[in-house]
Amino acid sequence: MMPSDQHGLRKPEDSRWAAFRDRLSRGWYKFSRNRISLIGGAMVLFFVFLASFAHFVTPYPHHAGAYTDFANAFEPPSAAHWFGTDSLGADVLTRIVFGSQISFMLAGVVLGISVPFGIFVGLLAGYVGGKTETLIMRITDIFLSLPALVMALAICAAFTPSIDKAMLAVASIWWTWHCRLVHGITRSIKTEEFVQASRVLGASHLRIIFRDILPNCASPIIVKITLDAGFVILVGAGLSFLGLGAQPPAEDLGTMISIGSKYLPERWWMTVFPSLAIFLIILGFNLLGDGLRDALAVEEGV
Amino acid sequence: MCDPILGADDLKKHFPLHYGLLHRVRGYVKAVDGVTFEVLPGEIFGLVGESGSGKSTVAKTLVHLYGATSGTIWLKGRDVSQLDKRTSKWFRREIQMVFQDPKSSLNPRRDVMSTLEDPLVIYGLAKSRRERESIVRSLLEQVEMSSRYMYKHPSALSGGQRQRIAIARALAVNPSFLVLDEPTSALDVSVQAKLIGLFVRLREELGLSYLFITHNLSLVRTIAARAAVMYVGRIYELGPVEQLFRHPVHPYTRTLIAAAPVVSQAEERVKPRKMSRGGEIPSLITPPSGCAFHPRCSAAETRCSEELPSVVEVKPGHLVRCWRAQELANSNGLEDAVGRGEPASNMRNTRRP
Amino acid sequence: MAERSLLLDVRNLHVHFRVYEGLSRVLDGVSLQVREGERVGLVGETGCGKTVAMKAAMGILKSPPARFPAGEVFLAGRDVLKMSPTEILAMKGKLIAMIFQDPLSSLNPVFTVGQQMFDVIRYGRRRAGDGKRAVRATLRRTAIEALLSVRLPDPERMLKMYPLELSGGMRQRALIAMALVNRPRLLVADEPGTALDVTIQAQILELLKGLVKEAQIAVLMITHDLGVVREIAERVYIMYAGQVAETGQAMAILDAPEHPYTKGLMASVPRLTGEVLAEGIPGTVPDYTEAPPGCRFHPRCAHRMDICGERKPLPVETAAGRYVACYLYGGESHV
């Protein structure tokens, strides 16, 4: 348990790469100890794989998009159509996979915009402090006090509904979470001795921000992004459910549920399976995120 | 007597307290309230005190982590109370600091190489990565660590090893003065001893001077040449350690030494009698008036609570801030005799202060 | 002196942990005893296993990941390692009180001192089988008495205060009051003075010593601070890397250490008299996943012999009540 000089340096880490590999395998060890996070990770990988290779893995890839075949509409689950067909005759399973593509894309774009912006603003507020900090954080607080879905709704409803407006709407409020996260970390790290040491060494502010503060935000941000992915997908699906997000025929899971709900309870498969899909995707992200949080925290562990 | 390498004159650091809705200033934490001392070249100067004494704040103010509220700071003959761009560059390469907590003095996300090459990059002390690597290797050698640790992260290092890296980092810019803020307080005794040995060697090899801050009196006695005792933001006694420990004058100094944990009978015998009536360390926001120790002092007079005592030089180099300094210094011999258990007939008049 | 009864009896305890690198053999045959009314110190540097030993003895070591391949722990005659957590809890309530290092984190910041004290008193009475629910007045009275006994001024006011309003010294006193209020037979203190200032620590230790002497409470004090040990402990166990190096009267060991490790340690302690310091002990603490065989100190020992690395030395009695685990003092090896 205690590192030692003469005895115990197992592998002389004379290269950064070797050291990195060692930390990676340690991190994996910690992560894999927890069954649940492994399951979550597997689930996420599975769904992302499906969505990425939708064209190749779905039984009826041509059923995606604008497809009609009224003759085969409303078929219950069968050997030919595992999840049945929908009101237009398209295979539900295929449309779920393609729908999840859209959901993932939504999450990707939203997080891709909001996270960097949130980090930037959070760093600024936390490092500079004073009035700037107060101003930024009060604005953030205002945004945070309103429920994400409601805010997105309001923004979306102001324009003609479409997937891009939905993405912008969600992104425009999502940055606040990351801002607050990074702000908190920055503030607490600012007072750590190694930052003080950097200041005494004469490091410039930029240097301190990029080499001392930012790397320490990495783990919490990664964990948050993972947990966020699920939640963003949920918000996106919620918007679509209300008709404000993805529009048919490029339906995402929320739209499918919305359309399918009209046919409950007789044609249950049109609602149940997309719902199950969302549930499992979000669950996967949550489990993965939790596992990552534990693994990453311990890896840095002091 | 050669010129001091570092000096502080009536140094003050008051932290404003903001609270309330509009963050108005409503008071001050007088962490450092008029501190004056000098460190001679090549000397180890000890600064002792308990928590709240302000010793850490003195350290941080000296290296400009905090801007001083008032007072002057001298380094190698130059006035460094205010730092402009040019002085700053020079200043940072002359004086460096080693911090207390090995757990947080190194960035957990950076490996040893990254941490140590930082100063090299900032000051352009190496032209290529290879050169940086070789300088880092020699730094590690200087602090007696194998270069096998170059790519390790702090979490893989023990407390003692982390402190060595912190020292190496401070040495990277080739300073002439090191401020050591309780560098061994968080370490085990045997690890501390090794590190102290390293400090002593480095001082000789590199011609460094130290300001060594600690609450461990025995440690100061062992390695410092001169020392100052701080209490609630001020220095109340200063002098050569021999003097300070054999004949402490100020009641607080005596109380402090008397309370020091010791491990042998021999050490018990050299302890002075404490001159305190119990009590807690006062707040820095509302410190006691006059001499801050007066509420706990068994020798306090009315004057002590009214006016801050002026500094008296009871012996050459031995300064005491106390209204009864001379008196206490004179009765010292008798007091210490009592402490050592010598027969009462040796004393002419044992006045209990 | 009549044999006082054994409160804590740890016999040849081995504790292992499963970690990334393999099997961490932290404790390698630790034996220690605390008798009724005795003040015992468990001393060692960071990583020597003293906290693990204490936790195992108190039955609060989580297992897994800890494993107990050999050895026994008896608390007041009962085998702790074989008891269920509920049984341990029930037994401990009447028998043991613990105080930890940092008084701030040991006290709940959102409850007043009074509320926490009442909790402790109520819990203690319930454990003692005192059926009827304690009346508030009795609680108050007991609490105030306890606070007075630790010389806290104005106990009535103190009951209404929150931990953050108190200074470190006062918090520690409050903690001691809470620990002693139910009259435990054994007080386990884990580095009690570390977070405090020197002058305050001196006061607290003096207080503690007085209280336990008066009430004849046994104390197991875990610390790395030799000065503290000298103040409080009558007997002491010096631990190194999961083994007990030597044990005996505290003063005797501090003044004349026998085991090479203890000698090295004592030579590294700065003295108020200002003698030159030794430079610690060469080498470093071993890695518990690759611990050296035999005496774990032998790689760092200037007096090592071949046998030291082969078999672990059994304690040798060098004086009455004084034992050293070292071949320099004779003795057969541990099979």
Tokens at residue B106, please?
Answer: 């190194």
Q: Which of A63-77, A262-276, B333-347 has the lowest mean pLDDT?
A: B333-347
* Residue C16: pLDDT over 90: yes
- pLDDT band of residue A3 (cuts 50, 70, 90) is very low
Name residue B70's beta-bridge partners. Answer: B12
Average pLDDT over residues B186-190: 88
B contacts of A216 (beta carbons < 8 Å): 107-109
Q: Hey, are the CB atoms on C19 and A1 less than 8 Å from each other?
A: yes
Helix intervals (H) in A53-147 = 54-57, 92-128, 130-145
Tokens at residue A43, please?
Answer: 């689930």
Closest-CA residue of chain B to A20: B151
* Residue B286: pLDDT over 50: yes
Residues with Cβ within 8 Å of C4's Cβ and at least 6 positions away in sequence, in order, are C35, C36, C37, C38
Average pLDDT over residues B272-276: 85
Answer yes or no: is B82 within a domain. Answer: yes
* Residue A21: pLDDT over 50: yes
- Chain C contact present for A3, CB below 8 A: yes
Q: Which helix (H) or strand (E) holds B177?
A: strand B177-181
- pLDDT band of residue B352 (cuts 50, 70, 90) is very low
CA separation for the pair B319, B236 (Å, rounded): 8
Neighbours of A17 (CB within 10 A): 10
- Chain A contact present for B137, CB below 8 A: no
- Chain B contact present for A1, CB below 8 A: no
* Residue B22: pLDDT over 60: yes
pLDDT digits (tens, 9 = 90+) for C235-266: 999 999 999 999 999 999 999 999 999 999 99
Determine contact, residues C189/C41, Cβ cutoff 8 Å. Answer: no
> How high is the mean pLDDT of chain C?
86
Q: What is the pLDDT of residue C167?
A: 81
Q: What is the pLDDT of residue C101?
A: 77
- Chain B contact present for A202, CB below 8 A: yes
* Residue B207: pLDDT over 70: yes
Residue from B187, B189, B200, B229 to probe the interface with C (highest C Cβ count within 10 Å): B189
Nearest to A217 by CA among A142, A108, A144, A120: A120
* Residue C1: pLDDT over 60: no
Question: Domains in chain C, start-ordered, CATH in brackets?
Answer: 6-240 (3.40.50.300)
Classify residue B324 by its DSSP letter.
Answer: T
Q: Which helix (H) or strand (E) holds B13?
A: strand B6-19
Q: Which of C202, C270, C284 is facing B222, going by the closest CB pair?
A: C270
Answer yes or no: is B181 within a domain. Answer: yes
Determine contact, residues C189/C220, Cβ cutoff 8 Å. Answer: yes
Name residue A126's beta-bridge partners. Answer: none
- pLDDT band of residue B347 (cuts 50, 70, 90) is very low
Helix intervals (H) in chain B = 55-62, 85-94, 112-122, 129-142, 159-171, 189-206, 217-223, 241-246, 251-259, 265-269, 302-306, 325-330, 332-339
- Chain B contact present for C226, CB below 8 A: yes
Q: Hey, are the CB atoms on A4 and C26 less than 8 Å from each other?
A: no
Residue from B95, B155, B181 to probe the interface with A (highest A Cβ count within 10 Å): B155
CA separation for the pair C69, C231 (Å, rounded): 36
Q: Which of residues 207-236 of A touch B (CB under 8 A)?
A: 207, 211-212, 215-216, 218
> How high is the mean pLDDT of chain B?
87
* Residue C315: pLDDT over 80: yes
SS3 at position A171: helix
SS3 at position A281: helix
Q: Which of residues 101-160 of C touch B (CB under 8 A)?
A: none
Q: What is the pLDDT of residue C127?
A: 61
C-alpha torsion sign, points B319, B321, B327, B329 = negative
- Chain C contact present for B259, CB below 8 A: yes
The one-letter code for the residue type at A93 is L
CA separation for the pair C264, C244 (Å, rounded): 15
Q: Do strands B177-181 and B209-214 pair parallel, antiparallel, or not at all (unpaired)?
A: parallel
Determine contact, residues C189/C218, Cβ cutoff 8 Å. Answer: no
Residue carrying structure tokens 């004379």:
A14
- Chain B contact present for C83, CB below 8 A: no
Q: When comparing pLDDT for A249 and B182, which is higher?
A: B182
Structurally, chain B folds into a number of domains equal to 1
The one-letter code for the residue type at A289 is G
- pLDDT band of residue A19 (cuts 50, 70, 90) is confident
Average pLDDT over residues A24-34: 78
Looking at the complex, report in whole angstroms how far the Cα of residue A50 sits from the nearest Cα belonging to chain C: 34
Tokens at residue B309, please?
Answer: 């005592």
Residue from B107, B115, B161 to probe the interface with A (highest A Cβ count within 10 Å): B107
Q: Which of residues 6-65 of A touch C (CB under 8 A)?
A: 6-8, 10, 26, 29-30
pLDDT digits (tens, 9 = 90+) for A91-123: 888 888 888 888 888 889 999 999 999 999 999
Residue range of the domain that includes B132: 6-346
Backbone angles phi, psi at B17, to 5 degrees: -100, 120
Answer yes or no: is B353 within a domain. Answer: no
Q: Which of B65, B109, B113 is facing A200, going by the closest CB pair?
A: B65
Looking at the complex, report in whole angstroms how far the Cα of residue B313 sits from the nearest Cα belonging to chain C: 24
A contacts of C19 (beta carbons < 8 Å): 1
Q: Hey, are the CB atoms on A1 and C286 less than 8 Å from each other?
A: no
Residues with Cβ within 8 Å of C245's Cβ and at least 6 positions away in sequence, in order, are C238, C239, C259, C261, C262, C297, C324, C325, C326
Determine contact, residues B180/B212, Cβ cutoff 8 Å. Answer: yes
Q: Which of A4, A29, A30 is facing C285, going by the closest CB pair?
A: A4
Q: Hey, are the CB atoms on B188 and C277 less than 8 Å from each other?
A: no
Any idea what the CATH number is for the domain that residue B40 is in?
3.40.50.300
B contacts of A22 (beta carbons < 8 Å): none
Q: What is the pLDDT of residue C134?
A: 62
End-to-end CA distance of chain B: 36
Residue-wise DSSP of C169-191:
HHHHHHHHHHHHTT--SEEEEES
Nearest to C70 by CA among C117, C20, C31, C40: C31
Q: Which of B109, B118, B148 is facing A13, going by the closest CB pair?
A: B148
Residues with Cβ within 8 Å of C328's Cβ and at least 6 positions away in sequence, in order, are C260, C303
Answer yes or no: is B352 within a domain. Answer: no
- Chain A contact present for C234, CB below 8 A: no
- pLDDT band of residue A180 (cuts 50, 70, 90) is very high
Q: What is the pLDDT of residue B23?
A: 64
pLDDT digits (tens, 9 = 90+) for B85-133: 889 999 999 999 999 888 889 999 899 999 999 999 999 888 888 999 9
Residue-wise DSSP of C122-169:
HHHHHHTT--SPPPHHHHHHHHHHHHHHTT-S-HHHHHT--GGGS-HH
pLDDT digits (tens, 9 = 90+) for B243-259: 999 999 999 999 999 98
Q: What is the pLDDT of residue C129?
A: 58
The one-letter code for the residue type at B302 is T
* Residue A302: pLDDT over 70: no
Residue-wise DSSP of C199-219:
HHHHHHHHHHHHHHHHHT-EE
Neighbours of C14 (CB within 10 A): 17
The interaxial angle of helices A16-32 and A35-52, nearest 10 deg, is 110
Closest-CA residue of chain A to B172: A201
Q: What is the pLDDT of residue B334?
A: 52
Answer yes or no: is B311 within a domain. Answer: yes
Q: Which of A197, A203, A218 is facing B99, going by the closest CB pair?
A: A197
SS3 at position C303: coil
- Chain C contact present for B100, CB below 8 A: no
CA separation for the pair B338, B320 (Å, rounded): 22
- Percent of chain B topping pLDDT 90: 58
CA separation for the pair A189, A216 (Å, rounded): 8
Q: Which helix (H) or strand (E) holds A234?
A: helix A214-241
Q: In what order do the strands lie in the sheet with B78-79?
A: B24-39, B6-19, B70-75, B78-79
Angle at C228 between CA C223 and CA C234, to 5 degrees: 90
Question: Domains in chain A, start-ordered, CATH in brackets?
Answer: 32-57+82-300 (1.10.3720.10)
Nearest to C329 by CA among C263, C259, C281: C259
- pLDDT band of residue C131 (cuts 50, 70, 90) is low
Looking at the complex, report in whole angstroms how far the Cα of residue A26 sits from the nearest Cα belonging to chain C: 7
- Chain A contact present for B169, CB below 8 A: yes
Looking at the complex, report in whole angstroms how far the Cα of residue A181 sits from the nearest Cα belonging to chain B: 18
User: Longest Cα pair distance anywhere in chain B, in angstroms?
Assistant: 76
* Residue C41: pLDDT over 70: yes
pLDDT digits (tens, 9 = 90+) for C267-277: 999 999 988 88
- Chain A contact present for B85, CB below 8 A: no
Looking at the complex, report in whole angstroms how far the Cα of residue B254 sits from the nearest Cα belonging to chain A: 33
- pLDDT band of residue C89 (cuts 50, 70, 90) is confident
Looking at the complex, report in whole angstroms how far the Cα of residue A276 sits from the nearest Cα belonging to chain C: 36
> How high is the mean pLDDT of chain A?
83
The one-letter code for the residue type at C219 is V
Residue carrying structure tokens 């009827």:
C132
Neighbours of C238 (CB within 10 A): 30
Burial B144-175 (b: 16+ CB within 10 A, else e): bbebebbbbbbbbbbbbbbbbbbbbbbbbbeb
